[in-house]
Structure 1
Amino acid sequence: MHASPQFQELRSVFRRFSFPMAVAFFVWYIVYLLVATFAADWMATPIGGGFNYGIVFGLLQFATTFLITWIYVQYSNKQIEPRTAAIRQQMEG
């Protein structure tokens, strides 16, 4: 089954989503780390209500994690799960 065209297509569909999304999130995280390291004074700038840019950036890290998870679930339900079910059905006969 590993060499079958259906499995190769499933891997391709998964990779088309996961690699670009992982790279985008990694770049966003590195930007956060670089800004926190090299612009610490700016990150400590108050923006009101007891918040500063550092807190906002940190909360945005959580928000993007949840957003990526939600996007992946939607993508998986439409693109990955039907292919997985077809492969499972074929293997179980």
Structure 2
Amino acid sequence: MTTQQHDSSVYEEIGGSERFQELKRRYRSWAFPMTVAFLAWYLLYVVLSGFARDFMGTKVWGNINIALIFGLLQFVSTFLIAWAYARHSAAKLDPLADELRHEIEGNPAAADGEVKA
């Protein structure tokens, strides 16, 4: 058996395993709702900018209006989502992904959590 055939069979086996399916479920259960929430927030900003010009033009302090604040909050929310994803990944995804990686690489002790890389 060639290395390529061996590699594809290992990945097919891992891809069908319950632990890999759990990894995908954990990722999707966080990424999809967060994506929907961010897109809704972004579209709210766009719609308000287009159709609620008086509201968005309301001065808050000096020349700073609601549109500018919402625009800056887009950046803040992007960084917060990236930070939250890094925490989620470190806590929920990386340990399981490491187990699967060690299993694929043939280090069963590491897959059981006995050896840390």
Counterpart for residue 26 of structure 2: 13
Counterpart for residue 56 of structure 2: 43
Instruction: State the 4+ residue runs in structure 1 displaced beyond 6 angstroms.
Output: none
| Overall identity of the aligned pairs, in % | 42
Determine the C-alpha separation between the residues in 2 that align with 1:82 and 1:4: 16
Question: Are 2:68 and 1:55 aligned?
Answer: yes
Counterpart for residue 105 of structure 2: 92
Counterpart for residue 33 of structure 1: 46
3-state DSSP of counterpart to 1:16: helix
**Larger RCO, structures 1/2 (Cα 8 Å, 6+ apart):** 1
Structure 2, unpaired ranges of 5+: 1-13, 107-117
Determine the C-alpha separation between the residues in 1 that align with 2:17 and 2:62: 57
Counterpart for residue 85 of structure 2: 72
Determine the C-alpha separation between the residues in 2 that align with 1:41 and 1:62: 23
The offset of 1:49, in angstroms, is 3.3
Superposition RMSD in Å: 0.8
Q: TM-score, normalization: structure 2?
A: 0.77
Determine the C-alpha separation between the residues in 2 that align with 1:47 and 1:2: 53
Counterpart for residue 7 of structure 2: none
Determine the C-alpha separation between the residues in 2 that align with 1:20 and 1:56: 24
The offset of 1:6, in angstroms, is 1.1
